[in-house]
Structure 1
Amino acid sequence: MRVLKVFNNNVVLAVDEHDGELVLFGRGLGFKAAPGSPVDPGRVERRFVPGASASADRIAAMVQEIPPQDIELAQRLVDLARTRLGQRISDHVLLPLADHLSFALRRAAQGVAEIEYPLRWEVQYLYPAEVAVAREMLALVTQERGVPLPDVETVPLALHLVNAQFDADMSATAQMTADLHRILDIIREEYGVRIDETSMEVARFVTHLRYLFLREQQGRMLTETPAELHAALRSARPREYTSAGRIGTLLAEQYGWAVSTDEILYLALHVSRLVDAAAAADRQEGATR
Protein backbone atom coordinates (compact mmCIF):
# COMPACT_ATOMS: atom_id res chain seq x y z
CA MET A 1 0.00 0.00 0.00
CA ARG A 2 1.09 3.57 -0.72
CA VAL A 3 0.12 6.85 0.92
CA LEU A 4 -1.95 9.21 -1.22
CA LYS A 5 -2.70 11.89 1.38
CA VAL A 6 -1.88 12.52 5.03
CA PHE A 7 -4.84 13.80 7.09
CA ASN A 8 -3.01 13.89 10.43
CA ASN A 9 -0.53 11.86 12.47
CA ASN A 10 -2.98 8.96 12.79
CA VAL A 11 -5.07 8.97 9.59
CA VAL A 12 -3.96 8.66 5.95
CA LEU A 13 -5.57 8.02 2.59
CA ALA A 14 -3.83 5.11 0.85
CA VAL A 15 -4.12 3.02 -2.29
CA ASP A 16 -3.85 -0.77 -2.23
CA GLU A 17 -2.34 -3.17 -4.76
CA HIS A 18 -5.58 -3.10 -6.78
CA ASP A 19 -5.62 0.74 -6.91
CA GLY A 20 -8.50 0.82 -4.44
CA GLU A 21 -8.60 3.76 -2.05
CA LEU A 22 -8.63 3.18 1.71
CA VAL A 23 -8.69 5.46 4.72
CA LEU A 24 -6.31 3.96 7.27
CA PHE A 25 -6.16 4.63 11.00
CA GLY A 26 -3.18 3.79 13.22
CA ARG A 27 -1.35 5.62 15.96
CA GLY A 28 1.51 7.52 14.35
CA LEU A 29 0.67 6.15 10.91
CA GLY A 30 0.82 9.59 9.27
CA PHE A 31 3.80 10.92 11.23
CA LYS A 32 6.48 12.01 8.74
CA ALA A 33 4.64 10.12 5.98
CA ALA A 34 4.50 11.65 2.50
CA PRO A 35 2.45 10.94 -0.64
CA GLY A 36 3.96 7.95 -2.41
CA SER A 37 5.61 6.47 0.66
CA PRO A 38 4.83 2.85 1.60
CA VAL A 39 2.41 2.07 4.44
CA ASP A 40 3.61 -0.15 7.27
CA PRO A 41 0.81 -2.77 7.53
CA GLY A 42 1.80 -3.53 11.10
CA ARG A 43 0.77 -0.05 12.21
CA VAL A 44 -2.68 -0.14 10.58
CA GLU A 45 -5.38 -0.57 13.22
CA ARG A 46 -8.46 0.04 11.05
CA ARG A 47 -9.36 0.31 7.37
CA PHE A 48 -12.32 2.23 5.95
CA VAL A 49 -13.52 2.13 2.35
CA PRO A 50 -14.90 5.36 0.81
CA GLY A 51 -18.23 4.89 -0.95
CA ALA A 52 -21.39 6.60 -2.15
CA SER A 53 -22.37 7.51 1.40
CA ALA A 54 -19.06 9.07 2.49
CA SER A 55 -15.99 10.51 0.77
CA ALA A 56 -12.44 9.91 1.97
CA ASP A 57 -12.30 13.41 3.52
CA ARG A 58 -15.58 12.82 5.38
CA ILE A 59 -14.39 9.43 6.63
CA ALA A 60 -11.14 10.94 7.90
CA ALA A 61 -13.04 13.66 9.77
CA MET A 62 -15.36 11.10 11.36
CA VAL A 63 -12.49 8.84 12.43
CA GLN A 64 -10.97 11.81 14.28
CA GLU A 65 -14.27 12.83 15.93
CA ILE A 66 -15.70 9.47 17.07
CA PRO A 67 -14.26 7.86 20.24
CA PRO A 68 -12.42 4.62 19.31
CA GLN A 69 -14.53 2.61 21.78
CA ASP A 70 -17.68 3.68 19.93
CA ILE A 71 -16.21 2.52 16.62
CA GLU A 72 -15.34 -0.82 18.23
CA LEU A 73 -18.89 -1.22 19.52
CA ALA A 74 -20.32 -0.25 16.13
CA GLN A 75 -18.16 -2.98 14.54
CA ARG A 76 -19.74 -5.53 16.89
CA LEU A 77 -23.17 -4.29 15.83
CA VAL A 78 -22.23 -4.68 12.15
CA ASP A 79 -20.97 -8.21 12.84
CA LEU A 80 -24.27 -9.02 14.57
CA ALA A 81 -26.22 -7.64 11.59
CA ARG A 82 -24.23 -9.82 9.19
CA THR A 83 -25.08 -12.96 11.15
CA ARG A 84 -28.78 -12.07 10.90
CA LEU A 85 -29.10 -10.44 7.45
CA GLY A 86 -26.19 -11.95 5.54
CA GLN A 87 -22.90 -10.76 4.11
CA ARG A 88 -24.55 -8.12 1.92
CA ILE A 89 -24.16 -5.70 4.85
CA SER A 90 -21.53 -3.32 3.47
CA ASP A 91 -18.45 -2.12 5.37
CA HIS A 92 -19.47 1.41 4.40
CA VAL A 93 -22.07 1.42 7.17
CA LEU A 94 -19.54 1.20 10.01
CA LEU A 95 -18.65 4.87 10.43
CA PRO A 96 -22.13 6.36 9.87
CA LEU A 97 -23.45 3.81 12.36
CA ALA A 98 -20.66 4.61 14.84
CA ASP A 99 -21.35 8.33 14.44
CA HIS A 100 -25.05 7.87 15.18
CA LEU A 101 -24.36 5.48 18.07
CA SER A 102 -21.87 7.88 19.67
CA PHE A 103 -24.38 10.73 19.45
CA ALA A 104 -27.20 8.58 20.87
CA LEU A 105 -25.03 7.46 23.80
CA ARG A 106 -24.12 11.08 24.61
CA ARG A 107 -27.80 12.09 24.52
CA ALA A 108 -28.76 9.23 26.81
CA ALA A 109 -25.97 10.02 29.27
CA GLN A 110 -27.09 13.66 29.40
CA GLY A 111 -30.75 12.72 29.86
CA VAL A 112 -31.80 14.51 26.67
CA ALA A 113 -35.39 13.82 25.54
CA GLU A 114 -36.04 11.20 22.88
CA ILE A 115 -36.00 12.22 19.23
CA GLU A 116 -39.26 11.55 17.40
CA TYR A 117 -38.32 10.12 14.02
CA PRO A 118 -40.88 10.98 11.30
CA LEU A 119 -40.75 7.58 9.54
CA ARG A 120 -41.18 5.48 12.67
CA TRP A 121 -44.30 3.58 11.62
CA GLU A 122 -43.27 3.19 7.97
CA VAL A 123 -39.91 1.70 8.96
CA GLN A 124 -41.48 -0.78 11.37
CA TYR A 125 -43.89 -2.08 8.72
CA LEU A 126 -41.65 -1.92 5.64
CA TYR A 127 -38.43 -3.31 7.12
CA PRO A 128 -39.42 -5.86 9.81
CA ALA A 129 -36.21 -7.91 9.47
CA GLU A 130 -34.00 -4.84 9.92
CA VAL A 131 -36.11 -3.60 12.86
CA ALA A 132 -35.77 -6.99 14.58
CA VAL A 133 -31.98 -6.82 14.21
CA ALA A 134 -31.97 -3.19 15.41
CA ARG A 135 -33.67 -4.31 18.65
CA GLU A 136 -30.94 -6.91 19.14
CA MET A 137 -28.37 -4.17 18.56
CA LEU A 138 -29.96 -2.00 21.26
CA ALA A 139 -29.82 -4.93 23.68
CA LEU A 140 -26.12 -5.40 22.90
CA VAL A 141 -25.44 -1.69 23.51
CA THR A 142 -27.18 -1.90 26.89
CA GLN A 143 -25.20 -5.02 27.77
CA GLU A 144 -21.86 -3.48 26.76
CA ARG A 145 -22.31 0.07 28.05
CA GLY A 146 -25.02 -0.22 30.67
CA VAL A 147 -26.86 2.59 28.89
CA PRO A 148 -30.38 1.68 27.72
CA LEU A 149 -31.20 3.55 24.52
CA PRO A 150 -34.91 4.20 23.82
CA ASP A 151 -36.79 1.81 21.53
CA VAL A 152 -37.34 4.63 19.01
CA GLU A 153 -33.63 4.24 18.12
CA THR A 154 -34.63 1.10 16.20
CA VAL A 155 -35.77 3.48 13.42
CA PRO A 156 -32.38 5.01 12.51
CA LEU A 157 -30.57 1.75 13.21
CA ALA A 158 -32.89 -0.12 10.83
CA LEU A 159 -32.41 2.59 8.18
CA HIS A 160 -28.64 2.25 8.54
CA LEU A 161 -29.04 -1.49 7.90
CA VAL A 162 -31.11 -0.78 4.78
CA ASN A 163 -28.37 1.64 3.65
CA ALA A 164 -25.76 -1.04 4.26
CA GLN A 165 -27.47 -3.38 1.82
CA PHE A 166 -27.79 -0.77 -0.95
CA ASP A 167 -24.79 1.52 -0.29
CA ALA A 168 -27.05 4.59 -0.21
CA ASP A 169 -26.99 7.60 2.08
CA MET A 170 -29.53 8.16 4.84
CA SER A 171 -31.48 10.87 3.02
CA ALA A 172 -31.93 8.63 -0.04
CA THR A 173 -33.09 5.72 2.11
CA ALA A 174 -35.52 7.96 4.01
CA GLN A 175 -36.96 9.18 0.71
CA MET A 176 -37.24 5.62 -0.57
CA THR A 177 -39.06 4.61 2.63
CA ALA A 178 -41.57 7.45 2.28
CA ASP A 179 -42.17 6.52 -1.37
CA LEU A 180 -42.68 2.83 -0.57
CA HIS A 181 -45.40 3.90 1.87
CA ARG A 182 -46.99 6.14 -0.78
CA ILE A 183 -47.03 3.22 -3.22
CA LEU A 184 -48.92 1.04 -0.74
CA ASP A 185 -51.34 3.93 -0.26
CA ILE A 186 -51.95 4.02 -4.03
CA ILE A 187 -53.07 0.39 -3.88
CA ARG A 188 -55.25 1.00 -0.82
CA GLU A 189 -56.97 3.93 -2.50
CA GLU A 190 -57.38 2.21 -5.85
CA TYR A 191 -59.03 -0.93 -4.49
CA GLY A 192 -60.45 0.18 -1.15
CA VAL A 193 -58.75 -2.71 0.61
CA ARG A 194 -56.97 -3.05 3.91
CA ILE A 195 -53.37 -4.17 3.44
CA ASP A 196 -51.71 -6.20 6.17
CA GLU A 197 -48.23 -4.67 6.33
CA THR A 198 -46.96 -7.76 8.15
CA SER A 199 -48.04 -10.16 5.38
CA MET A 200 -45.70 -12.15 3.15
CA GLU A 201 -47.20 -10.44 0.08
CA VAL A 202 -46.20 -7.00 1.38
CA ALA A 203 -42.73 -8.25 2.35
CA ARG A 204 -42.19 -9.61 -1.17
CA PHE A 205 -43.54 -6.45 -2.79
CA VAL A 206 -41.32 -4.19 -0.69
CA THR A 207 -38.30 -6.38 -1.44
CA HIS A 208 -39.04 -6.10 -5.17
CA LEU A 209 -39.40 -2.32 -4.89
CA ARG A 210 -36.14 -2.02 -2.98
CA TYR A 211 -34.30 -3.90 -5.72
CA LEU A 212 -36.08 -1.80 -8.35
CA PHE A 213 -34.55 1.26 -6.65
CA LEU A 214 -31.14 -0.42 -6.71
CA ARG A 215 -31.42 -1.43 -10.36
CA GLU A 216 -32.41 2.09 -11.39
CA GLN A 217 -29.56 3.63 -9.40
CA GLN A 218 -27.07 1.27 -11.05
CA GLY A 219 -28.59 1.55 -14.53
CA ARG A 220 -29.36 -2.18 -14.73
CA MET A 221 -32.39 -3.63 -16.48
CA LEU A 222 -34.55 -6.68 -15.88
CA THR A 223 -34.26 -9.52 -18.35
CA GLU A 224 -36.62 -8.75 -21.23
CA THR A 225 -39.91 -10.62 -20.95
CA PRO A 226 -41.96 -11.87 -23.94
CA ALA A 227 -44.56 -9.47 -25.35
CA GLU A 228 -47.20 -12.19 -25.03
CA LEU A 229 -46.78 -12.21 -21.26
CA HIS A 230 -47.40 -8.46 -21.10
CA ALA A 231 -50.49 -8.84 -23.28
CA ALA A 232 -51.82 -11.77 -21.24
CA LEU A 233 -51.48 -9.96 -17.90
CA ARG A 234 -52.90 -6.72 -19.30
CA SER A 235 -55.92 -8.69 -20.54
CA ALA A 236 -56.39 -10.76 -17.37
CA ARG A 237 -55.69 -8.03 -14.81
CA PRO A 238 -56.16 -4.67 -16.57
CA ARG A 239 -56.85 -2.73 -13.38
CA GLU A 240 -53.73 -4.04 -11.66
CA TYR A 241 -51.65 -3.31 -14.77
CA THR A 242 -52.95 0.27 -14.71
CA SER A 243 -52.07 0.57 -11.01
CA ALA A 244 -48.53 -0.60 -11.79
CA GLY A 245 -48.36 2.11 -14.43
CA ARG A 246 -49.36 4.71 -11.81
CA ILE A 247 -46.55 3.46 -9.57
CA GLY A 248 -44.11 3.71 -12.47
CA THR A 249 -45.25 7.27 -13.15
CA LEU A 250 -44.77 8.21 -9.48
CA LEU A 251 -41.21 6.89 -9.56
CA ALA A 252 -40.49 8.59 -12.88
CA GLU A 253 -41.71 11.93 -11.53
CA GLN A 254 -39.90 11.55 -8.21
CA TYR A 255 -36.55 10.33 -9.53
CA GLY A 256 -36.50 11.03 -13.26
CA TRP A 257 -36.37 7.33 -14.10
CA ALA A 258 -37.70 5.77 -17.29
CA VAL A 259 -39.34 2.77 -15.62
CA SER A 260 -39.36 -0.05 -18.21
CA THR A 261 -42.39 -2.05 -19.33
CA ASP A 262 -40.75 -5.14 -17.80
CA GLU A 263 -40.65 -3.40 -14.40
CA ILE A 264 -44.33 -2.49 -14.88
CA LEU A 265 -45.12 -6.14 -15.57
CA TYR A 266 -43.55 -7.34 -12.34
CA LEU A 267 -45.12 -4.50 -10.37
CA ALA A 268 -48.51 -5.56 -11.78
CA LEU A 269 -47.93 -9.14 -10.64
CA HIS A 270 -47.15 -7.96 -7.11
CA VAL A 271 -50.16 -5.64 -7.07
CA SER A 272 -52.35 -8.59 -8.11
CA ARG A 273 -51.01 -10.71 -5.26
CA LEU A 274 -51.56 -7.92 -2.74
CA VAL A 275 -55.12 -7.31 -3.90
CA ASP A 276 -55.96 -11.02 -3.93
CA ALA A 277 -54.55 -11.50 -0.41
CA ALA A 278 -56.47 -8.49 0.90
CA ALA A 279 -59.72 -9.70 -0.70
CA ALA A 280 -59.23 -13.19 0.75
CA ALA A 281 -58.64 -11.73 4.21
CA ASP A 282 -61.82 -9.66 3.94
CA ARG A 283 -63.85 -12.72 2.88
CA GLN A 284 -62.49 -14.74 5.76
CA GLU A 285 -63.31 -11.99 8.23
CA GLY A 286 -66.82 -11.70 6.82
CA ALA A 287 -67.37 -15.47 7.12
CA THR A 288 -66.44 -15.48 10.82
CA ARG A 289 -68.89 -12.72 11.77
Structure 2
Amino acid sequence: MQVVKVFNNNVVLGVDDRGVERVLLGRGLGFQMSPGTEVDPARIERVFVPSGATSAERIAAFVDEIPMADIELTEKVVAMARERLGPHVTEHVLVPLADHLSFALRRAAGGTTEIEYPLRWEVQYLYPGEVAVARAALDLVEQERGVRLPDIEAVPIALHLVNAQFGASDLGQMVQMTALLHQILAVIREEYGTEIDEDSVEVARFVTHLRYLFLRERQGKKLSETPAELHAALRNARPREYTSAGRVGELLHDEFGWTITIDEVLYLALHVSRLVDVASPTPVTGPGREVEP
Protein backbone atom coordinates (compact mmCIF):
# COMPACT_ATOMS: atom_id res chain seq x y z
CA MET A 1 0.00 0.00 0.00
CA GLN A 2 1.45 3.36 -1.08
CA VAL A 3 0.62 6.83 0.21
CA VAL A 4 -1.27 9.07 -2.22
CA LYS A 5 -2.04 11.94 0.13
CA VAL A 6 -1.42 12.76 3.79
CA PHE A 7 -4.44 14.32 5.49
CA ASN A 8 -2.92 14.58 8.97
CA ASN A 9 -0.70 12.65 11.35
CA ASN A 10 -3.26 9.87 11.73
CA VAL A 11 -5.08 9.71 8.39
CA VAL A 12 -3.67 9.11 4.89
CA LEU A 13 -5.05 8.19 1.49
CA GLY A 14 -3.41 5.06 0.15
CA VAL A 15 -3.65 2.94 -2.98
CA ASP A 16 -3.22 -0.83 -3.18
CA ASP A 17 -1.62 -2.94 -5.91
CA ARG A 18 -4.91 -3.00 -7.88
CA GLY A 19 -5.16 0.78 -7.89
CA VAL A 20 -8.02 0.90 -5.33
CA GLU A 21 -7.85 3.97 -3.10
CA ARG A 22 -8.46 3.57 0.63
CA VAL A 23 -8.49 5.95 3.57
CA LEU A 24 -6.15 4.56 6.23
CA LEU A 25 -6.34 5.37 9.91
CA GLY A 26 -3.63 4.71 12.45
CA ARG A 27 -1.93 6.54 15.29
CA GLY A 28 0.94 8.57 13.80
CA LEU A 29 0.42 6.88 10.43
CA GLY A 30 0.89 10.11 8.45
CA PHE A 31 3.86 11.45 10.41
CA GLN A 32 6.79 12.24 8.07
CA MET A 33 5.07 10.34 5.24
CA SER A 34 4.89 11.62 1.67
CA PRO A 35 3.19 10.52 -1.57
CA GLY A 36 4.77 7.38 -3.01
CA THR A 37 6.12 5.98 0.26
CA GLU A 38 5.09 2.53 1.46
CA VAL A 39 2.71 2.19 4.41
CA ASP A 40 3.60 -0.24 7.17
CA PRO A 41 0.55 -2.58 7.36
CA ALA A 42 1.18 -3.16 11.07
CA ARG A 43 0.44 0.52 11.79
CA ILE A 44 -2.95 0.55 10.01
CA GLU A 45 -5.79 0.39 12.53
CA ARG A 46 -8.77 1.00 10.22
CA VAL A 47 -9.39 0.99 6.46
CA PHE A 48 -12.22 2.93 4.78
CA VAL A 49 -13.09 2.53 1.11
CA PRO A 50 -14.34 5.68 -0.64
CA SER A 51 -17.37 5.33 -2.89
CA GLY A 52 -19.13 7.46 -5.45
CA ALA A 53 -21.34 8.73 -2.64
CA THR A 54 -18.53 9.51 -0.18
CA SER A 55 -15.20 10.96 -1.29
CA ALA A 56 -11.85 10.23 0.33
CA GLU A 57 -11.66 13.84 1.56
CA ARG A 58 -15.06 13.58 3.22
CA ILE A 59 -14.17 10.28 4.87
CA ALA A 60 -10.89 11.74 6.11
CA ALA A 61 -12.68 14.78 7.57
CA PHE A 62 -15.19 12.55 9.37
CA VAL A 63 -12.58 10.13 10.66
CA ASP A 64 -10.43 12.96 11.98
CA GLU A 65 -13.35 14.26 14.06
CA ILE A 66 -14.93 11.00 15.26
CA PRO A 67 -13.42 9.40 18.40
CA MET A 68 -12.04 5.92 17.77
CA ALA A 69 -14.36 4.49 20.42
CA ASP A 70 -17.37 5.74 18.45
CA ILE A 71 -16.03 4.17 15.25
CA GLU A 72 -15.53 0.84 17.03
CA LEU A 73 -19.05 1.00 18.43
CA THR A 74 -20.47 1.72 14.97
CA GLU A 75 -18.55 -1.23 13.52
CA LYS A 76 -20.46 -3.48 15.92
CA VAL A 77 -23.76 -1.90 14.84
CA VAL A 78 -22.92 -2.38 11.14
CA ALA A 79 -21.92 -6.01 11.72
CA MET A 80 -25.20 -6.68 13.50
CA ALA A 81 -27.18 -4.94 10.76
CA ARG A 82 -25.42 -6.92 8.03
CA GLU A 83 -26.18 -10.17 9.85
CA ARG A 84 -29.88 -9.32 10.19
CA LEU A 85 -30.59 -7.38 6.99
CA GLY A 86 -28.16 -8.80 4.47
CA PRO A 87 -24.86 -8.12 2.71
CA HIS A 88 -26.04 -4.82 1.19
CA VAL A 89 -25.16 -3.24 4.55
CA THR A 90 -21.53 -2.70 3.60
CA GLU A 91 -18.69 -0.76 5.18
CA HIS A 92 -19.75 2.27 3.13
CA VAL A 93 -22.42 3.01 5.76
CA LEU A 94 -19.84 2.98 8.57
CA VAL A 95 -18.58 6.57 8.35
CA PRO A 96 -21.93 8.42 7.99
CA LEU A 97 -23.51 6.23 10.68
CA ALA A 98 -20.51 6.73 12.99
CA ASP A 99 -20.78 10.47 12.44
CA HIS A 100 -24.45 10.37 13.42
CA LEU A 101 -23.99 8.16 16.48
CA SER A 102 -21.03 10.21 17.67
CA PHE A 103 -23.06 13.41 17.40
CA ALA A 104 -26.02 11.77 19.19
CA LEU A 105 -23.73 10.69 22.03
CA ARG A 106 -22.32 14.23 22.31
CA ARG A 107 -25.85 15.63 22.46
CA ALA A 108 -26.76 13.17 25.20
CA ALA A 109 -23.62 14.09 27.17
CA GLY A 110 -24.60 17.74 26.86
CA GLY A 111 -28.05 17.06 28.27
CA THR A 112 -30.00 17.24 25.00
CA THR A 113 -32.09 14.08 24.94
CA GLU A 114 -35.06 14.92 22.72
CA ILE A 115 -34.93 15.83 19.05
CA GLU A 116 -37.55 15.59 16.33
CA TYR A 117 -37.00 13.93 12.97
CA PRO A 118 -39.28 14.27 9.94
CA LEU A 119 -41.39 11.33 8.78
CA ARG A 120 -41.11 9.56 12.12
CA TRP A 121 -44.27 7.50 11.69
CA GLU A 122 -43.71 6.84 7.99
CA VAL A 123 -40.26 5.39 8.62
CA GLN A 124 -41.60 3.09 11.32
CA TYR A 125 -44.10 1.33 9.08
CA LEU A 126 -42.37 1.61 5.71
CA TYR A 127 -39.09 0.11 6.92
CA PRO A 128 -39.97 -2.22 9.83
CA GLY A 129 -36.89 -4.43 9.36
CA GLU A 130 -34.47 -1.51 9.51
CA VAL A 131 -36.33 0.05 12.44
CA ALA A 132 -36.11 -3.22 14.40
CA VAL A 133 -32.33 -3.30 13.83
CA ALA A 134 -32.06 0.39 14.73
CA ARG A 135 -33.78 -0.27 18.05
CA ALA A 136 -31.39 -3.14 18.67
CA ALA A 137 -28.56 -0.69 17.92
CA LEU A 138 -29.85 1.61 20.66
CA ASP A 139 -29.72 -1.36 23.04
CA LEU A 140 -26.15 -2.04 21.94
CA VAL A 141 -25.14 1.59 22.53
CA GLU A 142 -26.61 1.43 26.02
CA GLN A 143 -24.83 -1.85 26.72
CA GLU A 144 -21.47 -0.57 25.47
CA ARG A 145 -21.61 3.02 26.76
CA GLY A 146 -24.16 3.04 29.55
CA VAL A 147 -26.08 5.77 27.72
CA ARG A 148 -29.68 5.31 26.60
CA LEU A 149 -30.27 7.41 23.50
CA PRO A 150 -33.87 8.53 22.90
CA ASP A 151 -36.06 6.03 21.05
CA ILE A 152 -36.55 8.60 18.28
CA GLU A 153 -32.91 8.00 17.28
CA ALA A 154 -34.08 4.72 15.73
CA VAL A 155 -35.52 6.82 12.86
CA PRO A 156 -32.25 8.26 11.45
CA ILE A 157 -30.38 5.02 12.18
CA ALA A 158 -33.01 3.10 10.18
CA LEU A 159 -32.70 5.62 7.33
CA HIS A 160 -28.93 5.11 7.26
CA LEU A 161 -29.55 1.36 6.94
CA VAL A 162 -32.08 1.91 4.15
CA ASN A 163 -29.58 4.24 2.50
CA ALA A 164 -27.05 1.40 2.52
CA GLN A 165 -29.13 -0.29 -0.17
CA PHE A 166 -29.17 2.75 -2.44
CA GLY A 167 -25.76 4.35 -1.91
CA ALA A 168 -27.10 7.91 -1.87
CA SER A 169 -24.70 10.64 -0.78
CA ASP A 170 -26.84 11.70 2.19
CA LEU A 171 -30.14 11.04 3.90
CA GLY A 172 -31.91 13.80 1.98
CA GLN A 173 -32.78 11.47 -0.89
CA MET A 174 -33.98 8.80 1.54
CA VAL A 175 -36.26 11.32 3.25
CA GLN A 176 -37.56 12.33 -0.18
CA MET A 177 -38.16 8.70 -1.12
CA THR A 178 -39.88 7.95 2.19
CA ALA A 179 -42.21 10.93 1.81
CA LEU A 180 -43.10 9.80 -1.69
CA LEU A 181 -43.79 6.21 -0.59
CA HIS A 182 -46.17 7.59 2.02
CA GLN A 183 -47.81 9.79 -0.63
CA ILE A 184 -48.29 6.82 -2.97
CA LEU A 185 -50.07 4.81 -0.28
CA ALA A 186 -52.20 7.87 0.50
CA VAL A 187 -53.22 8.09 -3.19
CA ILE A 188 -54.42 4.49 -3.08
CA ARG A 189 -56.34 5.09 0.16
CA GLU A 190 -58.11 8.13 -1.27
CA GLU A 191 -58.83 6.67 -4.68
CA TYR A 192 -60.42 3.47 -3.36
CA GLY A 193 -61.79 4.75 -0.06
CA THR A 194 -59.99 1.98 1.79
CA GLU A 195 -58.10 1.50 5.00
CA ILE A 196 -54.75 -0.15 4.29
CA ASP A 197 -53.32 -2.41 6.97
CA GLU A 198 -49.81 -1.05 7.32
CA ASP A 199 -48.65 -4.32 8.90
CA SER A 200 -49.97 -6.50 6.08
CA VAL A 201 -47.82 -8.66 3.84
CA GLU A 202 -49.26 -6.85 0.80
CA VAL A 203 -48.04 -3.45 2.00
CA ALA A 204 -44.62 -4.90 2.80
CA ARG A 205 -44.38 -6.40 -0.69
CA PHE A 206 -45.54 -3.18 -2.33
CA VAL A 207 -43.02 -1.07 -0.42
CA THR A 208 -40.27 -3.58 -1.22
CA HIS A 209 -41.15 -3.39 -4.92
CA LEU A 210 -41.05 0.40 -4.81
CA ARG A 211 -37.70 0.34 -3.04
CA TYR A 212 -36.24 -1.87 -5.76
CA LEU A 213 -37.79 0.38 -8.38
CA PHE A 214 -35.87 3.26 -6.81
CA LEU A 215 -32.70 1.17 -6.81
CA ARG A 216 -33.15 0.19 -10.48
CA GLU A 217 -33.67 3.81 -11.48
CA ARG A 218 -30.58 4.93 -9.57
CA GLN A 219 -28.55 2.22 -11.31
CA GLY A 220 -30.07 2.92 -14.73
CA LYS A 221 -31.62 -0.55 -14.97
CA LYS A 222 -35.05 -1.53 -16.28
CA LEU A 223 -37.31 -4.54 -15.86
CA SER A 224 -37.21 -7.08 -18.66
CA GLU A 225 -39.98 -6.67 -21.21
CA THR A 226 -43.21 -8.56 -20.57
CA PRO A 227 -45.56 -9.87 -23.28
CA ALA A 228 -48.07 -7.34 -24.63
CA GLU A 229 -50.85 -9.87 -24.01
CA LEU A 230 -50.15 -9.72 -20.26
CA HIS A 231 -50.51 -5.95 -20.27
CA ALA A 232 -53.77 -6.15 -22.21
CA ALA A 233 -55.16 -8.87 -19.94
CA LEU A 234 -54.46 -6.92 -16.75
CA ARG A 235 -55.66 -3.64 -18.22
CA ASN A 236 -58.95 -5.30 -19.20
CA ALA A 237 -59.37 -7.20 -15.94
CA ARG A 238 -58.31 -4.39 -13.57
CA PRO A 239 -58.59 -1.10 -15.50
CA ARG A 240 -58.89 1.05 -12.39
CA GLU A 241 -55.82 -0.45 -10.75
CA TYR A 242 -53.86 -0.12 -14.01
CA THR A 243 -54.80 3.56 -14.13
CA SER A 244 -53.72 3.98 -10.49
CA ALA A 245 -50.35 2.44 -11.32
CA GLY A 246 -50.01 5.00 -14.10
CA ARG A 247 -50.66 7.77 -11.57
CA VAL A 248 -47.88 6.37 -9.38
CA GLY A 249 -45.58 6.48 -12.40
CA GLU A 250 -46.54 10.12 -12.96
CA LEU A 251 -45.70 10.94 -9.33
CA LEU A 252 -42.28 9.37 -9.75
CA HIS A 253 -41.74 11.28 -12.97
CA ASP A 254 -42.78 14.59 -11.39
CA GLU A 255 -40.60 14.03 -8.30
CA PHE A 256 -37.46 12.54 -9.86
CA GLY A 257 -37.81 13.02 -13.63
CA TRP A 258 -37.87 9.26 -14.21
CA THR A 259 -39.60 7.71 -17.21
CA ILE A 260 -41.52 4.75 -15.81
CA THR A 261 -41.83 2.00 -18.40
CA ILE A 262 -45.06 0.12 -19.12
CA ASP A 263 -43.42 -2.96 -17.60
CA GLU A 264 -42.96 -1.10 -14.31
CA VAL A 265 -46.60 0.07 -14.55
CA LEU A 266 -47.70 -3.54 -15.00
CA TYR A 267 -46.01 -4.70 -11.80
CA LEU A 268 -47.23 -1.63 -9.91
CA ALA A 269 -50.78 -2.46 -11.06
CA LEU A 270 -50.42 -6.01 -9.76
CA HIS A 271 -49.37 -4.71 -6.34
CA VAL A 272 -52.17 -2.12 -6.29
CA SER A 273 -54.65 -4.92 -7.07
CA ARG A 274 -53.39 -6.98 -4.12
CA LEU A 275 -53.62 -3.98 -1.80
CA VAL A 276 -57.17 -3.21 -2.88
CA ASP A 277 -58.27 -6.83 -2.61
CA VAL A 278 -57.26 -7.12 1.05
CA ALA A 279 -58.11 -3.55 2.13
CA SER A 280 -61.25 -2.73 4.09
CA PRO A 281 -63.66 0.11 3.24
CA THR A 282 -63.08 3.38 5.06
CA PRO A 283 -65.88 4.01 7.60
CA VAL A 284 -68.22 6.79 6.52
CA THR A 285 -69.70 9.22 9.00
CA GLY A 286 -72.89 11.19 8.56
CA PRO A 287 -76.53 11.39 9.65
CA GLY A 288 -77.77 8.08 10.89
CA ARG A 289 -74.34 6.45 10.64
CA GLU A 290 -72.15 5.27 13.44
CA VAL A 291 -68.50 4.50 13.14
CA GLU A 292 -67.06 1.43 14.82
CA PRO A 293 -64.54 2.43 17.48
TM-score, length-scaled by structure 2: 0.93
Residues 117-174 of structure 1: CA distance to partner in whole angstroms, max 9, x if unpaired?
1110000010001111111110111111111111111100100110112212211111
2:227 is aligned with 1:255 = no
- 3-state SS, counterpart of residue 182 of structure 1: helix
> How much has 1:10 moved relative to structure 2?
1.1
Gaps of 5+ in 1: 283-287
Amino acid at match of 1:188: R
Aligned to 1:131: 131
1:201 counterpart = 2:202: yes
Aligned residues of 1:91 and 1:164 also touching (Cα < 8 A): no
- Quick check: 2:166–2:218 contact (8 Å CA) kept in 1? no
How many Å apart are 1:92 and its aligned residue? Answer: 0.9
Spell out the pairing of 1:148-167 with structure 2 (5 A cutoff).
148-167=148-167
Query: How far apart are 1:3 and its partner, in Å?
Result: 1.6
Q: Please name the residue that 1:234 is paired with.
A: 235
Alpha-carbon distance in 1 for matches of 2:249, 2:14:
42
- Counterpart residue number, 1:69: 69
Contact map agreement 2:196 2:280 (CA 8 A) in 1: no
Distance 1:16 1:264 in 2: 45
Alignment-mate amino acid for residue 174 of structure 1: V
Shift of 1:264: 0.6
State the partner residue of 1:172: 173
How many angstroms does 1:101 deviate by?
Answer: 0.6
Answer 1 or 2: which has greater helix percent.
1
2:223: which partner in 1?
222
SS of residue paired to 1:196? coil
What is the aligned partner in structure 1 of residue 29 from structure 2? 29
Aligned positions, number: 284
Paired position in structure 1 for 2:289:
none
Which deviates more from structure 2 when the two are superposed, residues 234-243 or residues 108-117?
108-117
Letter paired with 1:255: F
- Look up the SS of the partner of 2:24 in the other structure: strand
Shift of the alpha carbon at 1:46? 0.5
Deviation at 1:240, TM superposition (A): 0.5
Secondary structure in 2 matching 1:14: strand
CA RMSD of aligned residues (A): 1.7
**CA distance in 2 between partners of 1:37 and 1:171 (Å):** 39
Matched to 1:134, the amino acid is: A
Q: CA deviation at 1:196?
A: 0.9
Which residue does the alignment assign to 1:285? none
SS across alignment from 2:197: coil
Which letter does structure 2 place at the counterpart of 1:9? Answer: N
2:147 corresponds to which residue?
Answer: 147
Alpha-carbon shift at residue 9 of structure 1 (Å): 1.4
Report what 1:18 is aligned to: 18
For 1:190, the equivalent position in structure 2 comes to 191
The runs of at least 4 consecutive aligned structure 1 residues that moved more than 3 Å come to: 279-282
Q: Give CA deviations for 1:195-246 in whole Å, capped at 9, x if unaligned.
A: 1111110111111101100100110111111111111111111101100000
C-alpha distance in 2 between matches for 1:50 and 1:243: 41
SS of residue paired to 1:206: helix
Distance 2:231 2:16 in 1: 48
**Percent identical:** 69
Gaps of 5+ in 2: 284-291
SS of structure 1 residue aligned to 2:136: helix
Given residue 144 of structure 1, which amino acid in structure 2 is its aligned partner? E
User: How far did residue 281 of structure 1 move?
Assistant: 11
Q: CA deviation at 1:38?
A: 2.0
Question: Amino acid of the residue matched to residue 47 of structure 1?
Answer: V
